[in-house]
A = this chain, B = another copy of it.
Amino acid sequence: MLKKYLPILTWLPHYTRRLFGADLLAGVIVTIMVIPQSLAYAILAGLPAVVGLYASILPLLAYTLLGTSRTLAVGPVAIIALMTGAALSGVAPPGSPAYLEAALTLSLLSGAMLTVMGILRLGFFANFLSHPVIGGFLSASGLLIAISQLSHLLGIDVTGYTALSLLTGLATHLDALHWPTLALGTGCLAFLIVMRRYGRNALTAIGMPKGLAALCARAGPVFAVIITTLLSWWLELGTRGVDVVGDVPGGLPPLTFPAIDLPLWRELLVPALLISVVGFVESISMAQMLAAKRRERISPNQELLGLGGANIAAALSAGMPVTGGLSRTVINFESGARTPMAGAFAALGIGLVTLALTPLLHHLPVATLAATIIVAVLTLVDVPLIRQTWHYSRSDFSAMALTMLLTLTEGVEAGIISGVALSIALFLYRTSRPHSALVGRIPGTEHFRSVTRHSAETLSHLALLRVDESLYFANARYLEDTVYTLVASRPELEHVVLICSAVNLIDASALESLDAINARLKDSRVTLHLAEVKGPVMDRLKKSHFLDDLSGRVFLSTYAAWSELKRREE
């Protein structure tokens, strides 16, 4: 029981020295690699850079205790930082103490929601974020984040959370363009792109071992941070109008607890829910992918508890909302992490950095962090997925397109809510016009197939109608129309058999419609029969009057109905 809720108890007793070595190395590498992105995502959310470090300490320890994925690394991630900034900018001015306080509240709410969803085993909720919607959302968010970072790259002071407001802000303040910042930023950007694209092969070519070359290529942001910080310190760029990170308070994260402020909670409820669900979906898909690679299993509901614990830990230690991050997880995995202990080591490492090394960050230019973010998020823009979805299904594509459009123009919340609503509406619309087919007998067999797709034997006084969908309120009336049209068009008809092999449910509205069909066919002297009714559906029908009133019979198979009814009545 305890093992179920504390997965650490399943692996810690078998912890070996070999695992320790692997995890320690991974922890050290992750510590170094995630510092730039932690700072960057805090700034993206409109928070002081150090908050990103704070959010990479206690939350990691919480996930180590509660998480089921062996290699997932939690911390601030780009999408969640964007959503955090969008949510907070609605309730407090960036930079104010109220803004910081609201970030803690958002973490706490999100953590509490994830925990409650985990306890109630509501992980399936995430399924309602369909693949096209989440894909479209990630692509649009990537673009939106990149656009939001342009201002840091250009040295223009613009904030906003829609593509339109950001771009018009940039356009109107273009005269404020700061050339040294632009030069530094684009230089960084070029360096990072080259490192990412060619770094590995180039380093291998000059004789570096493959693994180390890959690691160094990934360490592009770390080199960029070191080089530009030194440059900025040497040229005193901070005093020449280049934005730098500035004084970062040293020491471990303070213990915090968000005040209980009900009006604020109410305002942050929807954003917290969206952050929870999006963060969970991102995290779980990555965790499942990695688990599959090493034949491990993760439990979605326990993952909710793990992420919930991590966010509550963030709220208690001056952090910001966190989830499993793509790049940090990949680094962790490829650095050879074997257990969640690697996360604990990384937490210790980042703790040490926060304790002692923050003065080194003073001269780090913000433009460097912006370049880091831009290179990271552009990988989120998934053009092949958009193209595939367009080819596969226009309906799925329309949900994707709406999500992208609204995310860019109206912001992240509008985008994701509309996308989910549209995909549900489209599904309901599709099921509201159920496919049904008149079937006939394949001569000489007991098989029945659609008369429009096969040459099947039919009888003029007998209609065999196969219904290819569960019958419920949205399509009940459509079935009525189908049957009435059928009866009206075939005056010789004596029997209608509804073949229910694909009907998994008949709800109260559909029962009402079946009642109406039965009564109306009786008036027209046509007998209604059912065939191939599934066990659970039949059990349900027996609780109603329908079977007593049914003018015809319930046949076990279509063939039985055919054999019995094929002779015309006199």
**Interface residues in chain A, defined as those with a beta carbon under 8 Å from any beta carbon in chain B:** 124, 127-133, 292, 388-389, 391-393, 395-396, 423-424, 427-428, 430-435, 446, 450, 453, 468-470, 472-478, 501-502, 504-505, 507-509, 511-512, 520, 523, 534-536, 540, 543-544
Q: Is B127 a contact partner of A477 (Cβ separation < 8 A)?
A: yes
The docked-state distance in angstroms from the alpha carbon of A512 to that of B132 is: 10
The docked-state distance in angstroms from the alpha carbon of A129 to that of B428 is: 13
Q: Which residues of the other chain, B, contact A124 by a CB distance below 8 angstroms?
A: 432-433, 474, 477-478
Option from B393, B469, B536 in Cβ contact (under 8 Å) with A507: B393
Q: Is A131 a contact partner of B509 (Cβ separation < 8 A)?
A: yes
Decide yes or no: A504 and B127 within 8 Å by CB, A424-B424, A520-B292, A535-B453 being known contacts: no
Q: Is B504 a contact partner of A468 (Cβ separation < 8 A)?
A: yes
The docked-state distance in angstroms from the alpha carbon of A544 to that of B424 is: 23
**9 contacting pairs across A/B (C-beta < 8 A):** A130-B508, A391-B544, A392-B544, A393-B507, A393-B540, A395-B507, A435-B504, A453-B535, A502-B502
Main secondary structure of the interface of A (DSSP, over half): helix
Q: Is B476 a contact partner of A509 (Cβ separation < 8 A)?
A: no
Decide yes or no: A474 and B127 within 8 Å by CB, A396-B507, A504-B468 being known contacts: yes
Q: Is B474 a contact partner of A128 (Cβ separation < 8 A)?
A: yes
The docked-state distance in angstroms from the alpha carbon of A535 to that of B470 is: 19
Name which residue of chain B comes closest to A396, CB basis.
Answer: B508
Q: Is B502 a contact partner of A127 (Cβ separation < 8 A)?
A: no
Instruction: Tell me how many chains of this kind the complex includes.
Output: 2
Option from B395, B469, B478, B534 in Cβ contact (under 8 Å) with A504: B469
Q: Is A130 a contact partner of B392 (Cβ separation < 8 A)?
A: no
Q: Is A502 a contact partner of B544 (Cβ separation < 8 A)?
A: no
Q: Is A540 a contact partner of B292 (Cβ separation < 8 A)?
A: no
Decide yes or no: A475 and B127 within 8 Å by CB, A396-B508, A504-B468 being known contacts: yes
Option from B392, B469, B523 in Cβ contact (under 8 Å) with A511: B392
Q: Which residues of the other chain, B, contact A472 by a CB distance below 8 angstroms?
A: 130, 427
**A393-B507, A450-B535 given. 17 additional CB < 8 A pairs?**
A124-B432, A124-B477, A124-B478, A127-B475, A130-B472, A130-B509, A131-B476, A133-B473, A392-B540, A396-B507, A396-B509, A431-B470, A434-B504, A435-B504, A453-B535, A502-B502, A502-B504
The docked-state distance in angstroms from the alpha carbon of A306 to that of B434 is: 28
The docked-state distance in angstroms from the alpha carbon of A133 to that of B133 is: 30
Decide yes or no: A430 and B127 within 8 Å by CB, A393-B540, A453-B535 being known contacts: no
The docked-state distance in angstroms from the alpha carbon of A428 to that of B470 is: 12
The docked-state distance in angstroms from the alpha carbon of A124 to that of B476 is: 10
The docked-state distance in angstroms from the alpha carbon of A119 to that of B129 is: 33
Q: Which residues of the other chain, B, contact A392 by a CB distance below 8 angstroms?
A: 508, 511, 540, 543-544
With both chains docked as a complex, state the minimum distance between the C-beta of A465 and any C-beta of chain B, in angstroms: 15
Q: Is A127 a contact partner of B292 (Cβ separation < 8 A)?
A: no
Among A470, A473, A511, the most chain B Cβ lie within 10 Å of the Cβ of: A473
Q: Is A130 a contact partner of B473 (Cβ separation < 8 A)?
A: yes
Q: Which residues of the other chain, B, contact A509 by a CB distance below 8 angstroms?
A: 130-132, 396
Q: Which residues of the other chain, B, contact A433 by a CB distance below 8 angstroms?
A: 124
The docked-state distance in angstroms from the alpha carbon of A396 to that of B505 is: 12
Decide yes or no: A428 and B544 within 8 Å by CB, A392-B511, A507-B393, A511-B392 being known contacts: no
The docked-state distance in angstroms from the alpha carbon of A430 to that of B133 is: 21
The docked-state distance in angstroms from the alpha carbon of A532 to that of B145 is: 46
Q: Which residues of the other chain, B, contact A130 by a CB distance below 8 angstroms?
A: 472-474, 507-509
Q: Which residues of the other chain, B, contact A132 by a CB distance below 8 angstroms?
A: 508-509
The docked-state distance in angstroms from the alpha carbon of A476 to that of B432 is: 20
The docked-state distance in angstroms from the alpha carbon of A238 to that of B392 is: 73
Option from B389, B450, B501 in Cβ contact (under 8 Å) with A508: B389
With both chains docked as a complex, state the minimum distance between the C-beta of A301 and any C-beta of chain B, in angstroms: 12
The docked-state distance in angstroms from the alpha carbon of A434 to that of B389 is: 24
The docked-state distance in angstroms from the alpha carbon of A509 to that of B136 is: 13
The docked-state distance in angstroms from the alpha carbon of A127 to that of B479 is: 12
Name which residue of chain B comes closest to A472, CB basis.
Answer: B427
Q: Which residues of the other chain, B, contact A430 by a CB distance below 8 angstroms?
A: 505
With both chains docked as a complex, state the minimum distance between the C-beta of A292 and any C-beta of chain B, in angstroms: 6
Q: Which residues of the other chain, B, contact A389 by a CB distance below 8 angstroms?
A: 508
Option from B129, B446, B450, B473 in Cβ contact (under 8 Å) with A423: B473
Name which residue of chain B comes closest to A510, CB basis.
Answer: B131
With both chains docked as a complex, state the minimum distance between the C-beta of A447 and any C-beta of chain B, in angstroms: 8
The docked-state distance in angstroms from the alpha carbon of A478 to that of B300 is: 12
Q: Which residues of the other chain, B, contact A505 by a CB distance below 8 angstroms?
A: 430
Q: Is B468 a contact partner of A469 (Cβ separation < 8 A)?
A: no
With both chains docked as a complex, state the minimum distance between the C-beta of A448 and any C-beta of chain B, in angstroms: 12
Q: Which residues of the other chain, B, contact A427 by a CB distance below 8 angstroms?
A: 428, 472-474, 507
Q: Is A128 a contact partner of B428 (Cβ separation < 8 A)?
A: yes
With both chains docked as a complex, state the minimum distance between the C-beta of A430 and any C-beta of chain B, in angstroms: 6
The docked-state distance in angstroms from the alpha carbon of A382 to that of B511 is: 17
Q: Which residues of the other chain, B, contact A432 by a CB distance below 8 angstroms?
A: 124, 127
With both chains docked as a complex, state the minimum distance between the C-beta of A2 and any C-beta of chain B, in angstroms: 24
The docked-state distance in angstroms from the alpha carbon of A133 to that of B544 is: 18
With both chains docked as a complex, state the minimum distance between the C-beta of A399 and any C-beta of chain B, in angstroms: 9
With both chains docked as a complex, state the minimum distance between the C-beta of A398 and any C-beta of chain B, in angstroms: 11
The docked-state distance in angstroms from the alpha carbon of A423 to that of B476 is: 14
With both chains docked as a complex, state the minimum distance between the C-beta of A139 and any C-beta of chain B, in angstroms: 14
The docked-state distance in angstroms from the alpha carbon of A544 to that of B433 is: 25
Decide yes or no: A127 and B501 within 8 Å by CB, A431-B470, A508-B393 being known contacts: no
